[in-house]
């Protein structure tokens, strides 16, 4: 039943569309994988923006020594490559490889951005959460396993999507028969589309779960000001960025799940047959995530001891205990000393700020 619906929905979109050449004239045996005529000016603009933001992200990554944020770098590079290939494909729709590379890169890149959100959230928790609250009951997740839990879940859904995307791409890349049609290619690609939908649904569940936990932590952390390991205004800016990014990525995953072909009676075929839907519901939100992390980069709000590839949790606990002892045994009613990330460069707060 599902396979029938998927195929009928896709066929309904494509059956009336002739194959075209670059000049727009009908041409035999040239498939139009976009279903619409892709806009070259939009592809040029997208390529420029994503390449520029990727270069700036790499610069910040190195400048701030945010080695734990490596997943974001993979994500932005994948997006840049995807949009470059989309431009090449828009200029010449006869080339299958640029279209396939673009489709796969743009589809899977947000998984790496989500992984970057998971690692950044884990560092924020260990930096800002008092020691007595580092437990499952308070955080709704195991503090020592925040990053591994969500990354493994995200990686699992990523691999499922990769398998589905690979099976779909094979039907376009390996089938060189001059008699091939869109309908025949889509019929062979149905198993891959079902696998892809499964991966997207699992990924969406992971994003939504993380968004709930992250937003909840942002709310309850406002009551821990007396235990804050630094200027609360600093790391809460980073929390805003993480929450905003996770919600946007989750909404984008919902769009991608809906955008996969459905039965024509559901009306969702509009998402796939109009290019503006891709730019508004996919490219623009992901660009917003990249801009948010460029403005509020994690490396600017966390001390160097928290930005390495691996977090020394024992050292983090020691720093927490030192700051807690300086602030007193319990919540303070007085004004909180404003420690900054630089105060933790040597593993402890500067004694001069007593």
Selection from 236, 234, 210, 212 nearest residue 223 by Cα: 236
Classify residue 31 by its DSSP letter.
-
Inform me whether the pLDDT recorded for 344 exceeds 60. no
Long-range contacts of 127-130 (CB under 8 A, 24+ apart): 127/229, 127/230, 127/235, 127/302, 127/303, 127/306, 127/316, 128/221, 128/224, 128/228, 128/229, 128/230, 128/232, 128/235, 129/217, 129/221, 129/224, 130/224, 130/227, 130/320, 130/324
Domain count across the chain: 1
Inform me whether the pLDDT recorded for 208 exceeds 50. yes
Inform me whether the pLDDT recorded for 81 exceeds 90. yes
Using the structure block, give the residue that is written with the tokens 């000049």.
23
Half-sphere exposure (CA, 13 Å, Cβ side) for 72? 34
- Classify residue 309 by burial, with Cβ atoms within 10 Å: 0-12, 13-18, 19+: exposed
The pLDDT value recorded for residue 336 is 35
Selection from 175, 165, 182 nearest residue 31 by Cα: 182
The pLDDT value recorded for residue 5 is 36
330-343 pLDDT, tens digit each:
444 333 344 455 55
Instruction: Give mean pLDDT, residues 336-351.
Output: 46
**8 Å CB contact between 148 and 180:** no
State which residues form the domain around 329: 2-353
The pLDDT value recorded for residue 164 is 83
Inform me whether the pLDDT recorded for 281 exceeds 90. yes
DSSP codes joined into one string, 180-249? --HHHHHHHHHHHHHHHHHHHHHHHHHHHHHHHHHHHHHHHGGGGGGG-SS-HHHHHHHHHHHHHHHHHH
Report the distance separating Cα 318 and Cα 236, nearest Å.
22
The pLDDT value recorded for residue 289 is 95
CATH code assigned at 53: 1.20.1070
Report the distance separating Cα 148 and Cα 319, nearest Å.
23
Instruction: Give mean pLDDT, residues 216-237.
Output: 70
The pLDDT value recorded for residue 100 is 87
CB atoms within 10 A of CB 44: 14
In residues, how long is the chain?
354
Instruction: Give mean pLDDT, residues 311-330.
Output: 66
Selection from 274, 254, 272 nearest residue 264 by Cα: 272
**8 Å CB contact between 211 and 243:** yes
Task: Look up the pTM and report it.
Answer: 0.75
The pLDDT value recorded for residue 265 is 44
**8 Å CB contact between 99 and 33:** yes
Inform me whether the pLDDT recorded for 176 exceeds 60. no
């Amino acid at each position: 039943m599902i396979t029938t619906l998927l195929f009928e929905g896709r066929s309904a979109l494509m059956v009336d569309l002739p194959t075209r050449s670059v000049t727009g004239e009908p041409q035999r045996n040239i498939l139009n994988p976009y279903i619409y005529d892709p806009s070259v000016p939009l592809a040029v603009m997208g390529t420029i923006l994503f390449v520029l933001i990727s270069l700036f992200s790499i610069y910040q990554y190195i400048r701030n020594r945010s080695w734990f944020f490596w997943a974001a770098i993979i994500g932005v590079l994948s997006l840049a490559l995807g949009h470059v290939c989309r431009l090449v494909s828009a200029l010449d729709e006869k080339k299958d490889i640029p279209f396939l590379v673009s489709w796969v890169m743009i589809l899977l890149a947000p998984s790496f951005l989500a992984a970057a959100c998971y690692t950044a959230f884990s560092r924020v928790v260990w930096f800002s959460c008092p020691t007595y609250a580092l437990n499952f009951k308070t955080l709704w997740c195991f503090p020592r396993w925040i990053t591994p839990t969500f990354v493994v879940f995200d990686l699992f859904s990523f691999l499922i999507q990769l398998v589905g995307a690979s099976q779909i791409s094979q039907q376009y890349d390996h089938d060189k028969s001059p008699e091939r049609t869109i309908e025949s290619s889509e019929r062979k690609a149905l198993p891959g589309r079902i696998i892809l939908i499964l991966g997207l649904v699992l990924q969406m569940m992971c994003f939504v779960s993380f968004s709930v936990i992250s937003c909840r932590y942002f709310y309850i952390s406002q009551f821990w000001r007396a235990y804050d390991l630094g200027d609360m205004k600093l790391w809460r800016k980073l929390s805003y960025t993480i929450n905003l990014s996770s919600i946007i990525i989750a909404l984008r995953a919902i769009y991608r799940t809906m955008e996969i072909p459905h039965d024509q009676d559901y009306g969702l075929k509009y998402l796939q047959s109009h290019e503006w839907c891709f730019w508004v519901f996919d490219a623009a939100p992901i660009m917003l995530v990249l801009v948010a992390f460029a403005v509020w980069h994690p490396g600017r709000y966390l001390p160097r001891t928290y930005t390495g590839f691996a977090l020394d949790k024992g050292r983090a606990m020691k720093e927490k205990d030192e700051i807690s002892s300086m602030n007193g045994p319990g919540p303070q009613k007085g004004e909180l000393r404003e420690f900054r990330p630089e105060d933790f460069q040597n593993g402890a707060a500067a004694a001069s700020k007593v």
